[in-house]
Amino acid sequence: MFTKTLLLTALVGLGGDAVWGHEHSGSLQEHLSAQGPHKERLWYNVLPGDGGTQADSVFSGISTFGRIPYFPCLASDEEKFDIAFLGAPFDTGTSYRPGARFGPSGIRQGSRRLNLYGGYNTLLSVNPFNSWARVLDCGDIPVTSYDNAYAIKQIEQGHYSLLSRTPAYEADEGRKGPAKDGKVLPRIITLGGDHTIVLPILRSVKRAYGPVSVIHFDSHLDTWVPKVFGGAPTEQASVNHGTYFWHAYKEGLLKNNTNIHAGIRTTLSGPSDYENDAVVGFDLIEAHEIDEIGVGGIVKKIRERVGDGLVYLSIDIDSLDPAFAPATGTPETGGWSTRELRAIIRGLDGLQLVGADIVEVAPAYDTNAELTTMAAADILFEVMSVMVKTPLKSV
């Protein structure tokens, strides 16, 4: 307060209006409004629209996803949103390299320059940062690293707390939507975390919508029977990043036979793994198929499988080849390029996405150039664009 009083006194001596650094001009209020962080604008200037001012100093300020406004949504429901980014820093369900608990902060760091030039997505003809949708970074779910069972409950509770709220967009008030209560709900994009987090997220989604179809980008199936993947010496050990879809199937969280994996290239315990995968309710696209049918063929198979219903999108960063995303817990060579995966996600335009995540980003294994975290951020930019282009409707 004392500093602000001094600033006011100094500015009054300058005559009220003045020219400020970084090419900001106008009244004191306009000057203060240009200095983040605060809830309505970016850190250093308002979000530029078409032909507007280019963002400055994207390398400074506290990191949020794409430098969007931050609000502690889990502590307060005063701020409404249509799309929320939410971190789930959990990695004690991983089987090989840990470190994805730092994924949320790494992805935010990698997203800094997403709207350097305004954020307009030329290929989808939309600006997800400047649209009808209010987008917030809601921080992270406080996840314990000492008790997996409790952590999974925390993730479900935190996710549902945000998912079940009234969205910000005024036109959605009273409009009939696809949720079980007939309402339109906001959409949550979760920053993982290892892939185990999808089990509590799907529990949350079922509470709001009922069973949904899942599009799963990954190099691994993640539908393994617990005794095959990890041995399941205890009940809690049976829940991990290779078995969560098996549990989701057993709990009725998946819409029957409308789910699909894409990018699969893992080794198996044997052919029975694919047989079990089909029982769980998945079709699959192996990574090599892109060489025969191309991006368009991959998109066609995905869309034919999920149809026109509600879809949850889960993206493991290891669906990319380690040449493009080395910082992950279980890397597999022979994967897709960042360009190919982004193009496939753009091909999902028009689908009714109720939510999404990106997982298994472990920044400790990244290059100095933040290759993996930038790839993760750019992939979510496409997801966000698809969501903004296709508001949820009653189905």
Going by the annotation, the residues of the binding site are 195, 218, 220, 222, 316, 318
Gyration radius of the chain's alpha carbons: 22
CA-wise closest residue to 363 among 104, 137, 189? 104
Continuous H helices in 82-228? 103-110, 148-163, 198-209
* Residues making up the binding site for Mn(2+): 195, 218, 220, 222, 316, 318
Q: Tokens for 135, please give them.
A: 């987008």
Residue whose token pair is 């996803």: 65
Residue whose token pair is 């995540």: 357
For 217-282, give the DSSP string: E-SS-----TTTTT--SSTGGG-STTTHHHHHHHTT-BPTT-EEEEEE----S-THHHHHHHHHTE
With a CB cutoff of 8 Å and minimum separation 6, the contacts of 354 are 178, 185, 187, 205, 208, 209, 212, 310, 311, 312, 392
Contact between 74 and 188 under an 8 Å Cβ cutoff? The reply is no
Q: Hey, which residues does 190 pair with through a beta bridge? A: 86, 357
CA-wise closest residue to 131 among 47, 33, 69, 34? 47
